């Protein structure tokens, strides 16, 4: 879904944001961190009304705990992050602006270890802390929607964005460099939280094998290349993995809970 961009609105947004000291016309992102988190609060309400969230406190708690431990390792650890499990068989996970991470039951049910799940979540957190979503749309046609939310000129803009995210399973199509950066940071987050980053390489490998039959949503929003998979494995190999874990208590029951959806 694409939208025409009214130039007056974009320039108004750019002017307002540059005056607040958060962006310039030539910068990569026209939205401040505060504005992005304000947007996230609105998107959270809209997304949670459009997505079928898993009604399992233990499963959601497991994913939330894993994600929060990673977030605390970052410079965005003082920001409110929210983690949700979506009752959807599609193998996917996505980040939305403002500290939102959604993981499908289909992904949780398909992974083989806690470290593989941690790899997916770390990758999404990395997109969030690098603010890839608002970076990408700052120069895209969807920028008018973000400006409408930030400036309060269209009360329905957040709902439109949420509909787009819910339909596509992602906020923006990330570039190859975005994916590479998210993989690299994801490896670091995993190691800092005690997970063996080989789990991310195994996840990509597992999903690539399943993708041969077609239909892995994760790769529609996170394009895979043989180079990317090899790079992740090289990054994982450079980490001192002594004491890092591939599995943990609680994962098996979380996977069984996801498989029931």
Digits of tens for pLDDT over the chain (261 positions)? 222 223 223 323 333 333 233 333 344 677 789 989 988 898 899 999 999 999 999 999 999 999 999 999 999 999 999 999 999 999 999 999 999 999 999 999 999 999 999 999 999 999 999 998 887 766 554 555 555 555 555 557 667 777 767 666 666 677 788 899 999 999 999 999 999 999 999 999 988 888 776 668 888 778 787 778 899 999 999 999 999 999 999 999 999 999 999
* Closest by CA position to 190, among listed 75, 77, 71: 71
Angle at 100 between CA 96 and CA 104, to 5 degrees: 85
Rg (Cα) of the chain, in Å, rounded? 18
Per-residue tokens: 85: 């499990």
> Which one, of 243, 216, 176, lies nearest residue 90 by Cα?
216
What lies within 8 Å, CB to CB, of 85 at 6+ separation is: 53, 54, 56, 59, 60, 63, 102, 103, 104, 105, 108, 258
């Amino acid at each position: 879904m694409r939208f025409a961009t009214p130039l007056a609105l974009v320039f108004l947004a750019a002017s307002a944001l540059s005056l607040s000291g958060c962006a310039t016309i030539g910068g990569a992102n026209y939205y401040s961190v505060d504005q992005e988190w304000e947007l996230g609060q609105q998107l959270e309400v809209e997304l949670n009304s459009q997505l079928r969230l898993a009604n399992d406190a233990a499963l959601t708690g497991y994913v939330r705990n894993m994600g929060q431990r990673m977030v605390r390792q970052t410079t965005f650890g003082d920001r409110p992050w929210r983690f949700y499990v979506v009752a959807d068989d599609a193998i996917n996970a996505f980040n939305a602006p403002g500290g939102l991470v959604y993981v499908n039951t289909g992904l949780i049910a398909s992974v083989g270890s806690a470290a593989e799940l941690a790899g997916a979540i770390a990758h999404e957190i990395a997109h969030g802390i690098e603010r890839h979503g608002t970076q990408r749309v700052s120069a895209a046609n969807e920028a008018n929607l973000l400006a409408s939310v930030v400036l309060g000129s269209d009360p329905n803009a957040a709902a439109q964005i949420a509909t787009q995210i819910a339909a596509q399973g992602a906020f923006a199509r990330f570039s190859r460099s975005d994916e590479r950066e998210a993989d690299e940071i994801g490896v670091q987050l995993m190691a800092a939280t005690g997970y063996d980053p080989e789990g991310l390489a195994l996840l990509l490998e597992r999903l690539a094998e399943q993708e041969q039959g077609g239909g892995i949503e994760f790769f529609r929003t996170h394009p895979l290349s043989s180079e990317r998979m090899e790079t992740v494995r090289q990054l994982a190999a450079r980490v001192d993995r002594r004491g890092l874990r591939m599995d943990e208590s609680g994962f098996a029951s979380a996977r069984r809970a996801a498989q029931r959806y």
